[in-house]
Structure formats: C-alpha cells, structure tokens
Amino acid sequence: MSAEEPAKGTPKDAPQDTPKTPEPSGVDLARVALRAAKEQARARGDAAQQKKQARRGGLRSGARADGRDPLPLGSAINRLITERGWETPAAVGGVMGRWPQIVGDDLAKHCVPQRYDESERVLTVQCDSTAWATNLRLLAPQLVARLNEDLGHGTVRLIKVLGPGGPARRFGPLRAPGSTGPGDTYG
C-alpha cells in the first residue's frame, strides 16, 4: 500500500485524524457552576434591594449621579423637545426669531412671519404694503431654498404672502351703495 492511497474502509476525501473536542474536566465544570451561582446570587440581591427600597418609600439619591438628579434647564428643554417630537416647530420658531438675519434688515422691516403650518409645511408672512408683498412673492423661491438649507430639506414647502390688513369693514347708514369701503384701497 502506498502513501497516497487511503486505508481500506475510509472514504477518499475524509480527513485521517479528526480532532475531538475535549470533554469538560472537573475544573471547567467547577468554573461553570461558580459562574451560575454568582449570577443567581446577584439576581437575589437585586430583588432584595428593590424590596428594601420599596419599603423605605422608593428610590433615594445617593452620592453618585443617576437619572433622578436635576438637569440644567437647557438640557431639560432639549430632552422635552425630543421626547414630544417638537424639533421642526422649535426650529421654525427659531427662524422666526432670527428673521432679520435670514431675509435681511430691509425685508424684515416690512414683512413679518405670522405662523407655520406643520402639516402643510407652509410659512405665512404678513407684509405692510402691497409693494412689499409683491416683492416677497418674487423672492419666495430663493427664500424657501434658504430656509430649507437652515432647517433641513423639505421643512418649508411654500411661503404664503399676505398683503396689508385694512381697518375693519363697517356697515351702516353712511355707506355708499355698491362701495366695498376700505377694501377699495387695501388688498
């Protein structure tokens, strides 16, 4: 028989010596049992600690920092905004506060943001004259792009521009028939 031929009764591709995994010895079994006993003791200790705290009237703060310690105001507000999902309205509110820096002082003097509709993603802006309202309507696409750069893509879809509001329409005996009143000059 040559060295290249397999021994009789063994397949040609089967390895000759397959290493067997050793059975755990006494020392290994003892380590496994010790680890299990420590985990059980830790679980019993945690349960006893919780029961003891419940009898004392709940958890008490200790010397180390934990989740029950007071937070700085800014952190507490940021946490509340994140938990409630108010990121977009808060960001848009910040834009309304920084309106002069975003649109420029000239435009900010004559056009003021009024409200933001989150579901429609529409920012409503009130202008003090029809000329400024027309100017803002022409600048709206660039302004939407600038706002979305600042707030995130798609936050503002449209800017709704309102013209100046006139005095309240009054109906009475001094009204000329067929006249729209102050609406003739405003709007």
Listed ranges 34-48, 57-71, 107-121, 172-186; the one with the highest mean pLDDT: 107-121
Q: What are the residues facing 122 on neighbouring strands? A: 117, 158
Residue 115 to residue 89: CA distance in whole angstroms: 10
Task: Point out the least confidently predicted range of 3-12, 49-58, 107-116.
Answer: 3-12
Dihedral sign of CA atoms 160, 166, 172, 174 in order? negative
Residue 186: is it exposed, middle or buried by C-beta count within 10 angstroms (0-12/13-18/19+)?
middle
Alpha carbon separation from 54 to 7, 47, 50, 181 (Å, rounded): 73, 11, 6, 73
Tokens 């975003």 correspond to what residue? Answer: 102
pLDDT at 5: 53
DSSP secondary structure code for residue 127 in this structure: E
Contacts of 165 (CB under 8 A, 6+ apart): 126, 186
Question: What confidence category does residue 71 fall into, taking pLDDT thresholds of 50, 70 and 90?
Answer: confident
pLDDT at 186: 56
Residue 139 to residue 146: CA distance in whole angstroms: 11
Residue 10 has φ and ψ, to the nearest 5°, of: -115, 145
Instruction: Give the three-state DSSP class for 165.
Output: coil
Residue 126 to residue 165: CA distance in whole angstroms: 9
pLDDT at 39: 85
